[in-house]
């Protein structure tokens, strides 16, 4: 942007400065996010066509996509069913043969072509007798314009918007490149970009590559610049924090830790112990910890969080733990109260604006006996502190007036359910508290470094011993009765089961997909006399509590639920999970859901019911049948669905890239990270 009176650089000029772009076309370009000449030159082609070697019509192969060229020798529209159905056909001839291009129910296509036009078409060949392509992409070759732009080379095919044509946009970009292609400077001239082209060359090759490989190299170079920008921002933020912030010393003195570990009833895995060593080093240091703890579902992150909390409490500071759902917050509250109560530590639960003490810090016992609601908030000024407190809550923690002094440690469970903004708001509650974020969504490394580049990463890569195996089975809708027989058998053996459906009730989404309400009514009679409970996000909180408590205590044998149970719920006796309409979930989410079982010693069974679904969906689900490795599943999911879908709505922190493709750009992410660190070290950025 021009500052003050500084003249705009060529790339900052509005597109209206280009010949042939008036206000109307500028408005159309704006719909593609193109406002300046620079935007225009970074408009990324969605594919390329090699027009140096066009296929001859006679050589077209069935079911293959190809670009070919010919002259229109005949065309016309046929109607039937009282003109409600139509077919527009135009027949191309190139001297070797004829090709029928067909458009169904788009009779106005007739207006775009006339006999004698020379046309380029791209599409998949549907039949050979006659040779036909349905709904091809087309370009009419016009006389009088520069053929060298559109023919006899590799040409770019752009994302368009109604009212713009490929040829017009391609010619515009061609001219803009000639005028200002050289205005792209090296943003960081000192950086060694290896074999990659300069930025100016990359922009040229992005649009008009000499070879297909040049287009990919150009994309890589431009992606690297995007990633370097991002890494610089992340690392600058991190360095600033490091300079400014002095952390509270929260390493603890082991006074309570030994008693706690002895009372647990199990031994920490080596992996858990190793992670705790890293955390203790951070907590005892003078800079605030910023650490992401990754561990597959069931790997035991909660107890690690508890140990970190304990170190902080031993040091005399408060702890906040934020969970994504009330169910999970309450579960954590109960677990922490059970673990910390005997140590004389305070555990409070914050739901909405209400705060209640589950256990009081030693010395405040008289207060807690007056009823949990009446307990004083030890963080309120003027209340004599008997001891530091862990406050567990949902996002209510960042919204309500919760603002303790002496917040030593903030913990966020299931980070992927929160946005980066919420994480930052929690941290701002205190004076640079230590931060531990935990996630069970195994994030592929490229995504991790991009999204969590400002965090150190610890990984629990080992499951606690003594867990039963989880077997996964893919079944079709028609075997549901047999599946339910199997569930009943397991209930007879004293086990419990989850039945998961995607929707709550009619009207919530695609009608073909099951709702928990219907399924609840159906299985209630089916599984009688075993008690069946219903759980979803729209129930009043007390009802949710009642159902969850009943399931935990074993009074409820079958829980019919939405994916609300995907995070954190821990009931080891539940060994069967039936997921209906499994095709409507992402792989990572199914893996999370499946993590609810296999928590006890018994063998567990996860049964995915796929309704009528595509082959591709079926293949995705088969991946789950074959592996329990969350990282492999996440990589597959990222590759298949891209980062936006993979992460869901919550990740507002996900930057918007034009050129980066995280699923394949890990090497570039690493390169950008090193480059950014080097630039900051040498003060060159």
Question: Which of helix, strand or coil describes residue 628?
Answer: coil
Residues of this chain, 513-572, that bind Mg ion according to CB under 5 A: 568
- Cα of 155 vs its chain's centroid, Å: 33
Q: Which residue, 265 or 481, has its beta carbon nearer to ligand ADP?
A: 265
Number of amino acids touching ligand ADP (CB under 6 A)? 16
Q: Which residue, 314 or 413, has its beta carbon nearer to ligand ADP?
A: 413
Residues of this chain, 568-627, that bind Mg ion according to CB under 5 A: 568
For residue 638, the minimal CB distance to ligand ADP (Å) is 20
Q: Which of ligand ADP, Mg ion, none is residue 249 near (CB under 5 to 8 Å by kind)?
A: none
Q: Which residue, 13 or 302, has its beta carbon nearer to ligand ADP?
A: 302
Residues of this chain, 597-656, that bind ligand ADP according to CB under 6 A: 599
Binder to ligand ADP among 26, 268, 284, 459 (CB under 6 A)?
A: 268
- Residues sharing a CB contact under 8 Å with residue 580, sequence separation 6 or more, in sequence order: 480, 499, 500, 501, 502, 514, 519, 609, 611
Element (H, E) at 139: strand 137-141
Question: Where does residue 613 rank: exposed (0-12), middle (13-18), buried (19+ CB within 10 A)?
Answer: middle
For residue 302, the minimal CB distance to Mg ion (Å) is 5
For residue 437, the minimal CB distance to Mg ion (Å) is 12
- Residues 308 and 434: their CA atoms lie apart, in Å, by 10
Q: Which residue, 275 or 426, has its beta carbon nearer to ligand ADP?
A: 275
Q: Which residue, 181 or 630, has its beta carbon nearer to Mg ion?
A: 630
Does residue 297 interact with ligand ADP by CB under 6 A?
A: yes
Q: Which residue, 346 or 568, has its beta carbon nearer to Mg ion?
A: 568
Q: Which of ligand ADP, Mg ion, none is residue 38 near (CB under 5 to 8 Å by kind)?
A: none
For residue 570, the minimal CB distance to ligand ADP (Å) is 5
- Residues sharing a CB contact under 8 Å with residue 273, sequence separation 6 or more, in sequence order: none
Q: Which residue, 237 or 277, has its beta carbon nearer to ligand ADP?
A: 277
Segment interacting with ligand ADP (CB under 6 A) among 174-182, 267-275, 310-318, 526-534: 267-275
String of contacts with ligand ADP for each residue 101-130, x by CB under 6 A: ------------------------------
Does residue 266 interact with ligand ADP by CB under 6 A?
A: yes
Angle between helices 199-207 and 166-180 (to 10 degrees): 160
Q: Which of Mg ion, ligand ADP, none is residue 426 near (CB under 5 to 8 Å by kind)?
A: none
Residues of this chain, 484-503, that bind ligand ADP according to CB under 6 A: none
For residue 304, the minimal CB distance to ligand ADP (Å) is 8
3-state secondary structure 504-533: CCCCCCCCCCCEHHHHHHHHHHHHCCCCEE
In 252-388, at which residue ranges do the beta strands (DSSP E only) sit?
290-295, 318-322, 346-351, 354-359
- Residues 224 and 675: their CA atoms lie apart, in Å, by 10
Q: Which residue, 161 or 589, has its beta carbon nearer to Mg ion?
A: 589
* CB distance 279 to 271 below 8 Å: no
For residue 299, the minimal CB distance to Mg ion (Å) is 9
Q: Which of ligand ADP, Mg ion, none is residue 21 near (CB under 5 to 8 Å by kind)?
A: none
Cα first-last separation, the chain: 19
**Residue closest to ligand ADP (Cβ):** 300
Q: Which of Mg ion, ligand ADP, none is residue 570 near (CB under 5 to 8 Å by kind)?
A: ligand ADP
For residue 262, the minimal CB distance to Mg ion (Å) is 23
Number of amino acids touching Mg ion (CB under 5 A)? 1
Structure-block tokens of residue 494: 């004293």
- Residues 421 and 649: their CA atoms lie apart, in Å, by 13
DSSP 2: -
Q: Which of Mg ion, ligand ADP, none is residue 205 near (CB under 5 to 8 Å by kind)?
A: none
Task: For 67, list phi and psi in degrees, rounded to 5.
Answer: -105, 135
Does residue 459 interact with ligand ADP by CB under 6 A?
A: no
* CB distance 118 to 90 below 8 Å: no
**Residue closest to Mg ion (Cβ):** 568
Q: Which of Mg ion, ligand ADP, none is residue 599 near (CB under 5 to 8 Å by kind)?
A: ligand ADP
Segment interacting with ligand ADP (CB under 6 A) among 134-142, 238-246, 268-276, 649-657: 268-276
Q: Which residue, 295 or 502, has its beta carbon nearer to ligand ADP?
A: 295
Q: Which residue, 109 or 597, has its beta carbon nearer to ligand ADP?
A: 597
- Residues 533 and 523: their CA atoms lie apart, in Å, by 10
Binder to ligand ADP among 274, 399, 477, 570 (CB under 6 A)?
A: 570
Q: Which of ligand ADP, Mg ion, none is residue 378 near (CB under 5 to 8 Å by kind)?
A: none
Binder to ligand ADP among 40, 222, 256, 440 (CB under 6 A)?
A: 440
- Residues 580 and 523: their CA atoms lie apart, in Å, by 13
For residue 580, the minimal CB distance to ligand ADP (Å) is 23
* CB distance 111 to 79 below 8 Å: no
Rg of the chain taking only CA atoms, in angstroms: 31
- Residues 410 and 392: their CA atoms lie apart, in Å, by 10
- Residues 653 and 657: their CA atoms lie apart, in Å, by 12
For residue 264, the minimal CB distance to ligand ADP (Å) is 8
Q: Which of Mg ion, ligand ADP, none is residue 288 near (CB under 5 to 8 Å by kind)?
A: none
Question: Which of helix, strand or coil describes residue 140?
Answer: strand
Binder to ligand ADP among 205, 294, 302, 450 (CB under 6 A)?
A: 302
Question: Which of helix, strand or coil describes residue 552?
Answer: helix
Does residue 269 interact with ligand ADP by CB under 6 A?
A: yes
Q: With left for phi above 0 and alpha for psi between -120 and 50, is residue 105 left, alpha or beta? A: left
- Residues 530 and 526: their CA atoms lie apart, in Å, by 9
Task: For 657, list phi and psi in degrees, rounded to 5.
Answer: -105, 150
- Residues 581 and 613: their CA atoms lie apart, in Å, by 9
CA distances (Å), origin 341, targets 118, 323, 345, 432? 83, 20, 6, 27
For residue 413, the minimal CB distance to ligand ADP (Å) is 7
Does residue 303 interact with ligand ADP by CB under 6 A?
A: yes
CA distances (Å), origin 14, targets 22, 24, 178, 201? 11, 13, 17, 22
Q: Which residue, 125 or 438, has its beta carbon nearer to ligand ADP?
A: 438
Does residue 301 interact with ligand ADP by CB under 6 A?
A: yes
Q: Which of ligand ADP, Mg ion, none is residue 337 near (CB under 5 to 8 Å by kind)?
A: none
Q: What is the contact surface with ligand ADP in residues (CB under 6 A)? A: 266, 268-269, 272, 295, 297-303, 440, 464, 570, 599
Q: What is the contact surface with Mg ion in residues (CB under 5 A)? A: 568
């Amino acid at each position: 942007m021009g500052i003050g009176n500084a003249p705009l650089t060529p790339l900052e000029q509005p597109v209206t400065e280009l010949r042939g772009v008036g206000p109307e076309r500028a408005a159309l370009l704006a719909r593609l996010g193109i406002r300046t000449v620079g935007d225009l030159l970074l408009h990324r082609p969605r594919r390329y066509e090699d027009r140096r070697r066009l296929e001859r019509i006679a050589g077209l192969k069935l079911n293959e996509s190809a670009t070919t060229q010919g002259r229109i020798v005949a065309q016309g529209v046929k109607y039937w069913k009282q003109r409600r159905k139509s077919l527009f056909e135009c027949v191309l001839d190139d001297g070797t043969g004829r090709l029928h291009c067909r458009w169904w129910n788009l009779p106005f296509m007739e207006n775009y072509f006339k006999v004698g036009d020379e046309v380029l078409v791209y599409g998949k060949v549907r039949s050979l007798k006659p040779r036909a392509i349905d709904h091809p992409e087309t370009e009419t070759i016009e006389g009088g314009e520069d053929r060298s732009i559109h023919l006899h080379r590799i040409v770019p095919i752009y994302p368009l918007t109604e009212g713009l044509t490929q040829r017009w946009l391609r010619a515009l970009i061609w001219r803009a490149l000639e005028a200002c292609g050289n205005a792209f400077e090296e943003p960081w001239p000192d950086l060694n970009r290896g074999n990659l082209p300069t930025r100016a060359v990359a922009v040229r090759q992005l649009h008009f590559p000499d070879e297909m490989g040049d287009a990919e190299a150009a994309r890589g170079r431009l992606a690297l610049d995007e990633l370097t920008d991002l890494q610089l921002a992340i690392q600058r933020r991190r360095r600033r924090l490091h300079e400014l912030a002095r952390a509270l010393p929260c390493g603890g003195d082991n006074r309570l830790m030994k008693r706690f570990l002895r009372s647990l009833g199990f031994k920490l895995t080596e992996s858990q112990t190793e992670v705790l060593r890293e955390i203790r080093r951070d907590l005892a240091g003078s800079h605030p910890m910023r650490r992401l703890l990754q561990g597959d579902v069931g790997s035991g992150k909660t107890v690690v969080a508890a140990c970190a909390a304990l170190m902080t409490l031993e040091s005399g500071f408060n702890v906040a733990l934020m969970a994504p759902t009330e169910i999970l917050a309450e579960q954590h509250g109960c677990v922490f109260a059970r673990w910390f109560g005997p140590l004389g530590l305070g555990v409070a639960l914050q739901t909405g604006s209400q705060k209640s003490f589950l256990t009081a810090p030693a010395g405040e016992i008289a207060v807690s006996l007056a009823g949990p609601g009446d307990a004083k908030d030890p963080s309120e000024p003027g209340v004599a502190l008997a001891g530091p407190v862990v406050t567990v809550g949902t996002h209510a923690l960042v919204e309500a007036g919760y603002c303790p002094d002496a917040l030593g440690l903030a913990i966020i469970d299931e980070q992927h359910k929160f946005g980066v903004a919420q994480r930052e708001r929690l941290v701002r509650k205190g004076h640079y508290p230590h931060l531990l974020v935990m996630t069970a969504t195994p994030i592929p490394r490229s995504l991790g470094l991009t999204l969590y580049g400002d965090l150190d990463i610890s990984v629990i890569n080992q499951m606690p011993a003594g867990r039963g195996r989880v077997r996964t089975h893919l079944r079709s809708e028609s075997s549901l009765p047999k599946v339910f027989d199997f569930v009943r058998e397991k209930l007879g053996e004293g086990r419990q089961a989850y039945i998961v459906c995607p929707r709550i009730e009619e009207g919530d989404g695609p009608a073909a997909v099951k709702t928990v309400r219907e399924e609840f009514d159906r299985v209630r009679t089916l599984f009688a006399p075993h008690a069946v409970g219903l759980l979803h996000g729209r129930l009043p909180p007390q009802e949710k509590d009642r159902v969850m408590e009943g399931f935990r205590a074993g009074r409820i044998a079958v829980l019919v639920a939405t994916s609300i149970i995907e995070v954190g719920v821990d009931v080891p006796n539940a060994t069967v999970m039936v997921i209906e309409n499994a095709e409507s979930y992402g792989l990572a989410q199914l893996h999370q859901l499946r993590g609810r079982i296999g928590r006890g010693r018994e063998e567990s069974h996860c049964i995915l019911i796929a309704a009528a679904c595509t082959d591709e969906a079926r293949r995705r689900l088969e991946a789950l049948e074959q592996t329990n490795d969350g990282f492999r599943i996440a990589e597959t999911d990222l590759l298949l669905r891209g980062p936006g879908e993979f992460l869901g709505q919550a990740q507002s922190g996900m930057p918007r890239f034009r050129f980066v493709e995280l699923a394949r750009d890990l090497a570039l992410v690493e390169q950008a990270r090193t480059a950014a660190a080097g630039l900051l070290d040498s003060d060159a950025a």
